[in-house]
Structures are given as structure tokens and as C-alpha cells.
Structure 1
Amino acid sequence: MKPDSMCTKLSDYEYDLPKELIAQQPLENREDARLLILYRNSGKIEHRRFYEITEYLCPGDFLVLNNTKVIPALLSGKRVSGASLELLLTEERKESQWKALIRSNAKLKAGEEIYIADNILSAKLLKKGEDGSWLIQFDNGYPIKDLLLRTGKMPLPPYIKRTDNNGTCYSSDKERYQTVFAQKEGAIAAPTAGLHFSHSTLERIKKYGAEIGFVTLHVGMGTFLPIKTDDIRKHQMHKEYYECPREIMDKIKETKGHRHRVIAVGSTSCRVLESVAMHNETPQTSGWTNLFIYPPYHFRYVDVLLTNFHLPRTTLLALVCAFAGRENILNAYEIAKNKGYRFFSYGDCMMIM
């Protein structure tokens, strides 16, 4: 294989995946997921279960998790003609004004009025952005977040199939497409590596002597939109809001000072830590990041990465290739496929050491 520094084509981050390996439902117990251990220096691989994760931790390790909370941001709607729409609210711009991705069978027009959630309220399409999203204006004063809590659905990725007649699946998704430590509302996709943790797993990790801290990155379009440029270096990430409290920064420096490991749980936690590390002299405890990590990249804070198996041609796959080496990752993915691992959001995970 060619060196990672030359892997700048989108086709370098392609692989085939049988549809039956795309996890459609979460496991009954979060911690029963399979855990592939990848040693990035040697390429060695081990196969375990997530509840065995403490066997790969050391006292003094510092696990950093993303405590963002997914909002039920998926709404149904109709055009004046009665044709159905589906809206994914992606970002609140100001009172009653949101950015949204809209799925429609017909072309939409600026100035058009649409009706939301069985005509509970209307919204006007203001303008369409270059990224395909719409800026929409809801009826003034209507509490949109209350509407989402009442009628919104969890914004599951399109590869997880749900139909209107399996409402029980939708209701269980409200719990399971959410980490047990979710706290700060604002994400439109789950930080999926964190889905494997149960409260009991977190307690066992603490008793083992590893420490746990939380950052926030509200997962948005920057994380889940695919790369569309043939040269990945030309891809522009959407900005996402993050918070990294001062005590987390201090704990990272203390951990590294004692030669212990900083373990990022998920690509979103990793991007927060690396965004902060880039401004080490004047670190920001909160702000917006559009950091796109791809090979070659020098990781400043993250020593170990816990992550799910990602879609091809995505910024997420590029990030793990930067961390472990593209050849190691693609080889691990082939082995995972052959052993029947479950892929993507509700799937299994890997720990890169």
C-alpha cells in the first residue's frame, strides 16, 4: 500500500460492506458489544467483549467522553399541496429560526410555506445554502424545543431502517440512541462510541483506578456529512460547538506529566481534545471547531482511541486512519467483516492502542 501521506484521494477511503453487517438494532445490553483491539504499532488484533474493557486500562488512565445529548430533531411536515416532507433541524440560528435538511420528492422554493407536525404550526423557507440545508422561519414565539420533545423523532442515520408501523422501535431509540451520561442537549447524531457504556461499566472503570472526564461536542453536519471532493484535502468541515472545561485541560496535562494515557472515547471527543491542543498556549474552554483530521496528522493529546466502525468515504474513517494508519484500519475492517462484527452506529467497536 502507498504511504499514508499520499492517501489524499477519496477512493483511498473506500471499502465494501455487506448490508447484513449494518446493525439495525442495539444489543439488549450495551456492554455486550464486541470489542476489537488494534495495536497500531504492530497491527496486532485481539477480539473481546466491551465489558472486558478494564483489562486494557491502567490505573491513572484518563477517559474523556462526550456528554452531548441528542435532541429528537426529526419532524414530519407537508407542503401546501399536501405532499409529505421530512425535516431534520440541524442548528438553531436565533429565536424561531433554524437550519434544516429537508427531504422532499419535489423541488422546494424560497418563500414557500410548509406545515409541521399535523399542522401544529407553519414555517417559511427563507433560503437554501450551498450545503443543501434550508434556513427556515417558524411561527414567532412557538417553543420549537417543546414541539421536538412532543412530536420529534430521534434523527437516526439513513442506514438504520424504521417504518411508521414499528413505533416501538422508535420509542426504544429515544433511550438507546443516547449515551447513559448524555447531559447537554444539542446533538443531531449520537456520539456512538459512548453508546456501549452502562452505568455499571463506568463504575467498574473508576474502581479500577482509571479516571473519567467529560467534554461536549454537539454532533452536527460536520461529523456525519460524507466527503464529496475527490481530493479529501479540499473538503470543508462544518463547524460544531464544543466545550472543554478548564479542569479537563488540567487533568490531561497531569495525566501526561505522569506518563499515563489519555483515552478519547469517540471521534468527537478526539476532535475536541485535538482542537484544544492546537491552541495550547491560549486554550479555549468553548467555541466552534471545524477540525478535519486525516493522514498524516500528529496527535498531541490523544494516546488511545475508542471508536465504532465507520462508513466509507467519511471524515470519521479518515480520522481513524490518521490515528492507526490506513493499512492497519482497512485490514482490521476486513477481519471484522469476516468475523461478522456489526458496523456503524448500533454496531460493535474497536480500541486503538
Structure 2
Amino acid sequence: MTYFEQKIQENDFALSSYDYTLPSSAIAQNPANPRESAKLLIYQRENERIIHSDFYHFCDFVPQDTLVVFNDTRVIKARIYAHKLDYTTQKPSDKIFEIFYHKPLPSTSVPLFLVQIKGRVKCGDMLLIHTDSQNLSFSAQVQECLDNGLRVVSFMHNEHILGLTQVLDMLEKYGHTPLPPYIKRHDTPQDAYFYQSVFGKKLGSIAAPTASLHFSQESIESIKTHFQTCFLTLHVGAGTFMGVESPDIRQHSIHKESFSLSPQSAVAIEQAHKVLCIGTTSARCVEYYARYKVLQGECDIFLYPSKAFKRVDYLLTNFHLPKSTLMMLVSAMIGREKCLEIYDIALNKGYKFYSYGDGMLIL
């Protein structure tokens, strides 16, 4: 058995086997500044060596002749606030409703969007988002209430129904950075910069591909100097925060996320000697492409112990939530017991966990 082959145990499929205790003090509430000042744990599988460093020294550990793959998705300001219109008075209520944008729905005669809404609403309700100095208002009208708690809405500017590009423009202007629920504070202007990779170009994610947050423009240029690089796009959806509920993880139906990669990136991935993915999103996309050879679509690959990586050799990732599909993906690469062991070491060494936390480089 080589160092990257894992001995599978029956409890590797038990959801309870991916639990661990995480004190709230270990959850990063703010970004590392500068970005490279975040801690970096390096795990070398071949000799099971663990090294503690930081992102200033990232290039020192990556083996030569490695292709580094980045996800160039850009995070939408997906959280927006509104007041429900009172049909009796035709005035907005005082209560604030939070609308959390998910994604556009397949083409219909009227552009429709999937959202979450905090607060009780029914079909037909109008939520006023913003009124400008010329008394022109942006609003969302509830078109359907789904059984899973999500809502289908149309967005409008006065009486004009908005398409996708116009909705994204509105969100960029009036929306808020969609910090995850375990960051216990409101977003700030600082988050608009730090909860976004410096190379993010294509709007579509409602959560950051967090391994990418550790790199400044200078460090990206350094990586490009030392290694071959390529980019792909996988838009992170709300499903990334959805927990696994089935006691046997093999019964879990993972969420789908839209992806695309250029023919040039596909060739680079196929021809590379070794592939290092920056983040689990890049890894899922590369592994999906390795299996199905399609350049765009909906990625629904679920990697866990017994589901071997076919193309990804190395992985940079953050430290993830207990019982999460992301933790299972890491376990697919290094084994569940080793993953839990490293997490315990990281906690004892003061590493910070989750989105704004520190990173782990698996070699």
C-alpha cells in the first residue's frame, strides 16, 4: 500500500465518525492581515511529517513541476435587507427582512431567482429593498414558497422586471458581504476586500472559496513565477453549508454547483506531472472533469474515504466544520483518522478554523 492509498474502515462511512469538539475561540472571526500572515500546516503523506509555517513560505513547500489550479469565482454581495410593503397602508413596515440570494432559476418567461428570506412571507408579498433620491425603488416579489424553506422571487426596479445582470448590479450596489453564520458579527467594508480572492473575476458564488483568501497579488505573482498555473470556475452555492443528515454518509445526496473550465485549462490539467488544487472547490471541479471530460455543467461529485482521487495530487484547504462534506473530502485524501489527528494538533497549536482561518497543505 502506497502512502496515498487509504485502508478503509467501516466507521469511515458513519457520520458520527466525523465529529470533533471545536471551541468557539478557535473559529476565526476576522481575516489574517496581511493575508500571508495566516498559519500554514504542511502534511507530507509520504513520511507523515507535519511542519508548521505560514503563507509567506508557501512556495517553499510545493514540489517543482506542479500545476497549481485556482478557482476564479467571485463572491456576490448576496445578503440584502428589505421592508415588507403593507397592502393596507401601501407603506413599508418597520420590520427588517433579510433576503439571501442563491442563484437564478432556469429560463422562464419572467426572470426568477432562488432566495432565502428571514421573516414570514407569502406568495405575492412585496419587499422593498431600496428607494433612491428620485423615488425609484428596488423590490422583490415572492412568487412561490417552496417546501424546503426557500423562496422564488422576481426582482424589480419600479415596474421593470430585472434580469440576471441587473440583479447582480443591484446586489453589488446595495448588498452585503455574505459572511457565514459562524462569524458572529455584521460585515464591514473590510470584508468586501478580504472575503474575496484577489484573482476572483466571475460573479456567481455566495460563499468564498476560502483557501484562496490567503494570497495577495504579490504572492500570486510569485506562484506564477515558480509554477505553472491555470484557472477554472466553480460557483460556491449555499449547499456548501448544508449538513449531512444521513447516518451513513454514502446515502447523502450532495448539492450541485455550476462550473466551467477552458480547453486550455483542461489540457494543462491532463498533461501536468502533478496537480495542486487551491481549495476543495478546485479539487471537486478537477475530479469531476477527470471522470466526465466535460468543460461546463453542474458538479455534484462527493469525495469521501473509498472514493479515490483520480487527478488531484496535492491540496491546499482550510480547517472545516465537523460532519461536513468538506471534511470528508479531506479524509478521502489522507484518511479520516489522520484528518482528526491533524485537526487536534492544529487546535493545540492555536490554528484558527473555518473561512477566515488558517490553512493546511497536503502533499
TM-score, normalisation: structure 2: 0.88
Distance 1:246 1:4 in 2: 39
Map of 2:297 onto structure 1: 287
Contact 2:69 2:232 in 1 (8 A): yes
CA distance in 2, matches of 1:153, 1:113: 20
Match of 2:314 in 1: 304
In the alignment, the residues of structure 1 paired with residue 150 and residue 46 of structure 2 have an alpha-carbon distance, to the nearest angstrom, of: 41
Q: How does 1:246-261 map to 2 (within 5 A)?
A: 246-255=263-272, 260-261=273-274
Tell me the distance in 1 between the aligned counterparts of 2:224 and 2:300. 32
Corresponding residue number in structure 1 for 2:244: 227
Task: Name the % identity.
Answer: 39
Q: SS where residue 338 of structure 2 aligns?
A: helix
Which one of the candidate residues 259, 264, 270 is aligned to 1:242? Answer: 259
1:1-353 to 2 correspondence within 5 Å?
Answer: 3-80=8-85, 82=93, 83-93=95-105, 94=107, 96-104=111-119, 107-117=120-130, 120-139=137-156, 140-142=160-162, 143-163=166-186, 170-208=188-226, 210-255=227-272, 260-279=273-292, 283-353=293-363
Supply the AA of the counterpart residue of 2:225: K
Counterpart Cα distance in 2 of 1:98 and 1:4: 42
Indicate how the Cα distance of structure 1 residues 146 and 244 shifts in structure 2: closer, same or farther if over 3 A, else same.
Answer: closer
Deviates more, 1:245-254 or 1:322-331: 245-254
| In 2, Cα distance between equivalents of 1:286 and 1:153 | 29
- Distance, in Å, in 2 between the alignment partners of 1:16 and 1:224 is 18
| Aligned-pair CA distance for 1:42 | 4.5
Aligned length: 337
Which stretch of structure 1 is more off in the superposition, 194-203 or 330-339? 194-203
Distance 1:41 1:6, change over 3 A: farther
Q: How far has the Cα of 1:18 moved from its partner?
A: 0.8
Q: Name the aligned partner's letter for residue 176 of structure 2.
A: K
Judge which range, 228-237 or 183-192, deviates more.
228-237
Matches of 1:24 and 1:290 in 2, distance apart? 30
Q: Hey, what's the Cα distance between the residues in 2 that align with 1:274 and 1:133?
A: 30
Q: Which has the larger radius of gyration?
A: 2
Amino acid paired to 1:239? K
Higher deviation after alignment, 288-297 or 120-129: 120-129
**For residues 247-277 of structure 1, what are the alpha-carbon distances to aligned partners after superposition, in whole Å with 9 as ceiling and x for unaligned?**
112112221xxxx310011000000000001
> C-alpha offsets along residues 16-55 of structure 1, whole Å, 9 cap, x if unaligned?
1111111111111011111001123443311111111111
Query: How far did 1:217 drift?
Result: 0.1
How many Å separate the matches in 1 of 2:9 and 2:222?
Answer: 37
Q: Write the distance in 2 (CA, Å) between the matches of 1:227 and 1:120.
A: 40
* Alignment partners' CA distance in 2, 1:147 and 1:249: 34
Q: More displaced, 89-98 or 328-337?
A: 89-98
Structure 1 segments unaligned to the other structure (5+ residues): 164-168
Instruction: Report the CA distance shift for 1:146/1:206 in structure 2 as closer, same or farther (over 3 A).
Output: closer
Structure 1 SS opposite 2:311: coil
Contact 1:40–1:328 (CA under 8 A) maintained in structure 2: no
User: In 2, distance between residues paired with 1:243 and 1:326?
Assistant: 30
Is the contact between residue 154 and residue 161 of structure 2 (CA under 8 Å) also seen in structure 1?
no
TM-score w.r.t. the length of structure 1 is: 0.90
The answer for unaligned runs of 5 or more in structure 2 is 1-6, 87-92
| 3-state SS of paired residue (2:161) | coil
Report how far residue 173 of structure 1 moved.
Answer: 0.6
Q: Distance in 1 between matches of 2:354 and 2:43?
A: 17
Q: Tell me, in whole angstroms, the C-alpha distance in 2 between the residues paired with 1:159 and 1:9.
A: 25
Question: Could you tell me whether the CA contact under 8 Å between 1:4 and 1:326 is conserved in 2?
Answer: no
When residues 111 and 41 of structure 1 are mapped into structure 2, their CA distance, relative to the original with a 3 A threshold, is farther
Aligned AA for 2:206? I
Conserved 8 A contact 2:244-2:324: yes
Note if contact 2:130-2:139 (Cα within 8 Å) is conserved in structure 1.
Answer: no
Matches of 2:306 and 2:55, distance apart in 1 = 29
Whole-angstrom distance in 2 between the partners of 1:223 and 1:10: 16
Larger mean CA deviation between 342-351 and 43-52 belongs to 43-52
- SS class of match (1:28): coil
| Maintained 8 Å contact 2:304/2:328 | yes
Q: Secondary structure at the match of 2:53?
A: strand
d(CA) in 1 for partners of 2:77 and 2:198? Answer: 16
Cα pair 1:110 1:128 within 8 Å, conserved: yes
CA contact (8 A) 2:254 2:302 kept: yes
RMSD after superposition: 1.9
- Displacement of 1:313: 1.7
Q: Distance in 1 between matches of 2:130 and 2:252?
A: 35
Q: How much has 1:114 moved relative to structure 2?
A: 2.5
- Per-residue CA deviations over 1:272-320 (Å, capped at 9, x if unaligned) read 00000112xxx11111111111121111110000000111121111111
C-alpha distance in 2 between matches for 1:62 and 1:122: 45
Question: SS of 1:194's equivalent?
Answer: helix
**Contact 1:96 1:144 survives alignment (8 Å):** no
